[in-house]
């Protein structure tokens, strides 16, 4: 059981625009659901707002600096370390998926052992970006190439393990 990061990233490093995903790739959403279901997910408050509801069959954790924030069926934490402590001290056999956005990827990056990246092979307009990664510290363990007809784009599921 481990801490894993999952993100879809465009060719120009965009992950979001105006608090939404810039693309609609149904196979990617399906894979996200398959991987994260029955596990824990942690996201920033803005990403939660963008999704608009807790995702079913997962423990939903939202990170916010707002100490008064309460959301039904969601655990709100104020510090990344508290999330990590809660995960490490639990006895459930689950993975913790770090699901974004930019700030949350940055805060949790050092704890992640695996990266599940969907590389979308096109440039998009955006205002949220994936943090810079030293790819020399990661080993590609699986790659799967796909094409989305509606979005008219090649995309790749790339899984990495920390070296
Ligand atoms: N492509 C993908 O796979 C993917 C995945 C996820 C999200 N996205 C996109 O990313 C964008 C949203 O990302 P974002 O970077 O703007 O926001 P975000 O990381 O989702 O959320 C930022 C919020 O997290 C809280 N936060 C940040 N640092 C904190 C800390 N040290 N302690 C406690 N709370 C902290 C704050 O909430 P408060 O303001 O409440 O204090 C902050 O406003 C959207 O466009 C979304 O669609 C894309």
C-alpha 52 – ligand 1 centre gap (Å): 13
pLDDT in tens, 71-128: 999 999 999 999 999 999 999 999 999 999 999 999 999 999 999 999 999 999 999 9
Please state the atom number of ligand 1 nearest to the C-alpha of residue 63: 34
Instruction: Name residue 76's beta-bridge partners.
Output: 62
Q: What structural domains does the chain harbor?
A: 3-162 (3.40.430.10)
The pTM of the whole model exceeds 0.75: yes
Give residue ranges with CB within 6 A of ligand 1. 7-8, 15-16, 19-21, 43-47, 50, 63-66, 78-79, 99-104, 107, 128
3-state secondary structure of 108: helix
pLDDT for res 43: 98
Strand stretches in 108-152, DSSP E: 114-120, 128-129, 138-148
d(CA 31, CA 87): 23
Name the average pLDDT for the chain. Answer: 97
């Amino acid at each position: 059981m481990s801490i894993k990061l999952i993100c879809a990233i465009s060719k120009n490093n965009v992950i979001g625009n105006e608090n939404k995903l810039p693309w609609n790739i149904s196979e990617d959403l399906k894979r996200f659901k398959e991987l994260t279901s029955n596990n824990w997910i942690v996201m920033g408050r803005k990403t939660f707002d963008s999704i608009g509801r807790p995702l079913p069959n997962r423990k939903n954790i939202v990170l916010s600096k707002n100490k008064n924030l309460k959301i039904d069926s969601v655990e709100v934490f104020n510090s990344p370390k508290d999330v990590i402590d809660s995960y490490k001290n639990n006895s459930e056999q689950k993975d913790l998926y770090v699901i974004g956005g930019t700030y949350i990827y940055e805060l949790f990056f050092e704890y992640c052992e695996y990266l599940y990246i969907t590389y979308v092979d096109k440039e998009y307009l955006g205002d949220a970006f994936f943090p810079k990664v030293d790819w020399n510290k990661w080993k590609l363990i699986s790659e799967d190439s796909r094409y989305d007809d509606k979005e008219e784009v090649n995309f790749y599921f790339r899984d990495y393990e920390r070296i």
